[in-house]
Structure 1
Amino acid sequence: MENFTPLSAIIGGALIGVSAVMLMALNGRIAGISGIFSGIATAGRGDRSWRLSFVAGLVAAPLIFGFVAGEMPAIEITSSWPLIIIAGLLVGFGTRLGSGCTSGHGVCGLSRLSLRSIISVGIFMIVGVIAATLMRHVFTGGTGSMG
């Protein structure tokens, strides 16, 4: 955890919480990213515009941050493209299987004390710990790098 910055983490968490509350208060919708994104293709005309705006905000936010900060944070991807594609497909499959993603269950569902979300987040955490352990200590030969 060499790059942990508690202030930016607190600010980011507060902004996520405020946006989830605003979406619920103003639109009566849960801020589950997988549901919002997948609904763009299937939603009716009036329901599509807020979804597109939400996703556009997700894309624009880091760009605005980079503009304000004067530079974009450096991102180094050390995994191969096939591994990234497989991981993305598995995440997509998991969000469908779990009827939502970490934003919907973790941010919105836990705050509503949803039993389904409590169970889902528990499963997310357990599988995440197992996957991280396997990737760092089994599949990399203990080097911690997937390069």
Structure 2
Amino acid sequence: MMLPGFPEAAPLAGLAGGLLIGLAAALMLLGAGRVTGVSGIVGRAFGINDSGMSWSSAWTFVIGLPLGAFLVATLKGGFEPEFVPLPLLAVAGVLVGFGARLGSGCTSGHGVCGVSRLSQRSLVATATFMIAGIATVAVMGAL
């Protein structure tokens, strides 16, 4: 069953995206010996923490994330950006940063890398992310 508003290719796009995320995480672990936790890498880029990665490598990763998404969207025929009011965006960013600090990592670090290493902390964190996400969707759907 397809969801309304989602193209039929969505499952294949999700599979391809998942494979690329897994490949990137594996390359980072094998090449640099580091877990691919985006919050840690962003923290290193802004000098907030020392993730064991060079400052220039952190910035390359941070710039590559939106640049890669922009490139794919452009190759697929473009996109229509939706602008979020700056104060709302700032509050959301602070809340995400606070949550990543509180949870000792973000969804990429725990969900992709930690779960694959069977880290108990990551298993609990990922279960918490999933429960919160499901609850949010249920509440938003009921509204």
TM-score, length-scaled by structure 1: 0.80
Alignment partner for residue 71 of structure 1, among 72, 78, 84? 78
Deviations 1:81-111 (A, max 9, x none): 5544433322111100001110000001011
The answer to whether the aligner puts 1:54 opposite 2:58 as a matched pair is no
The answer to whether the aligner puts 1:123 opposite 2:134 as a matched pair is no
Alignment partner for residue 132 of structure 1, among 116, 129, 137? 137
User: How many residues in Structure 1 have an aligned counterpart in Structure 2?
Assistant: 135
The answer to whether the aligner puts 1:114 opposite 2:122 as a matched pair is no
Q: Show the counterpart of 1:145.
A: none
SS at match of 1:36: helix
Unaligned runs of 5+ in 2: none
Judged with a 3 Å threshold, the aligned counterparts in structure 2 of structure 1 residues 20 and 56 are, in CA distance, closer, same or farther, namely same
Alignment partner for residue 7 of structure 1, among 12, 35, 43? 12
Q: Show the counterpart of 1:25.
A: 30
Judged with a 3 Å threshold, the aligned counterparts in structure 2 of structure 1 residues 83 and 63 are, in CA distance, closer, same or farther, namely closer
Give the RMSD, CA atoms, in angstroms.
2.3
Question: By how many angstroms is 1:132 displaced?
Answer: 2.8
Unaligned runs of 5+ in 1: 143-147
SS at match of 1:51: helix
2:112 counterpart letter in structure 1: V
Preserved contact between residue 38 and residue 109 of structure 2 (Cα < 8 Å)? yes
1:26 counterpart letter in structure 2: G
Question: By how many angstroms is 1:52 displaced?
Answer: 1.1
**Worse-superposed segment, 126-135 or 100-109:** 126-135
Q: Distance in 1 between matches of 2:46 and 2:91?
A: 23
